[in-house]
Amino acid sequence: MKDRSDSTDFSHYTAPRWLPGGHLQTIYAFSLRQTMNFSYRRERWETLDGDFIDLDWLDPSSPGSSLVVLFHGLEGSSRSHYAVSLMNELKRCGIRGVVVHFRGCSGEVNRLARAYHSGDSLEIDWILRRFKEREPNLRLYPVGVSIAGNMLLKWLGEQGENVSNVIESAVAISVPVDLAIAARRLDSGWNKLIYTSRFLRSMKPKLLAKISAHGLPIDGRALRAISTFREIDDLYTAPVHGFRDAEDYWLRSSSKPWLRRIRVSTLMINARNDPFFPGDALPTAAEVSAYVALEFSQTGGHVGFVTGKFPGDLSWLPSRILRFFAGAVP
């Protein structure tokens, strides 16, 4: 297998001049209007612990033996800008695709007190192996965005050599590989006002519903008052999912320590100006296995990567993903 780790500083992406800075590149991509040239077919899977997840399938005219599986970022869905752009490209190419919603992200609060979290590699394992059980000859190509990228990379490292029995290759995008660093970044300054407040507005109603439905020993007033990821992870995420506190959760869930153990061709795409995660905290070639290609552009923001003349489009990222899966040289 070709050693891809020497691509650490090789940039395939440069932001257009009319879109300067990591914040603008992030926010503009999120708000960029797209046409969905496809329709989803929803399927519900019952989980082993009595819960459920919903999957939105793209059904191209030809079924095919390959499937691109997209795992969305925090509070994302099949309607997220990166999901729509990728599904549009898969539709154009006649490739099967599916967006997997984590628990509580498909428009309906999940049944259990637990939800999903940044280190839930067991959920990734169950989902991908179920695809293979249903279609043993299926060639799986998972894509993880942001925290799902962290979950996917952690799973890849945990599985080691065993992963080749499940997937062909993988792509992780805008990944906060060290969750403590990411949380501190998002809990301060403009990031707290622009991004963290938005995430919390989405998360709080779901958690308040869980407090009511399950009688969780969490003060609703305290939950409404929180304004940082540290607070919500200390109050809910850590204790409900088996961690001591936020620091323990971040430490045990981060993917960075697992990157040297990955044994399947994997592409990491991050922008060094990502507002969610500092460029100087990204892994170096020495911190990953030879199976991991690192493409860290200077620009792009967080899952931004807008390209072209104004108003631009989001075609670069799905095109790069599919070229990697097809075996193109980075």
- Residues recognised as catalytic: 146, 274, 302
Q: Which residue has the tokens 């399927």?
A: 43
**Edge-to-edge, what's the strand order for the sheet holding 66-71?**
40-46, 52-58, 96-100, 66-71, 139-145, 170-173, 266-271, 292-297
Residue 268 CB-half CA count within 13 A: 39
* CA separation for the pair 259, 283 (Å, rounded): 9
Beta pairing partners, 98: 57, 69
* CA separation for the pair 221, 87 (Å, rounded): 40
Q: Which of 98, 83, 154 is nearest to 123 (CA)?
A: 154
Radius of gyration of the chain (CA): 19
Please answer whether residues 86 and 321 qualify as being in contact, where contact means their C-beta atoms are separated by less than 8 angstroms.
Answer: yes
* CA separation for the pair 287, 289 (Å, rounded): 7
Neighbours of 63 (CB within 10 A): 11
Measure the CA angle with vertex 177, ends 172 and 179; round to 5°: 135
> Ramachandran region of residue 125, left (φ > 0), alpha (ψ -120 to 50) or beta?
alpha
* CA separation for the pair 279, 19 (Å, rounded): 19
Q: Which of 216, 195, 209 is nearest to 277 (CA)?
A: 195
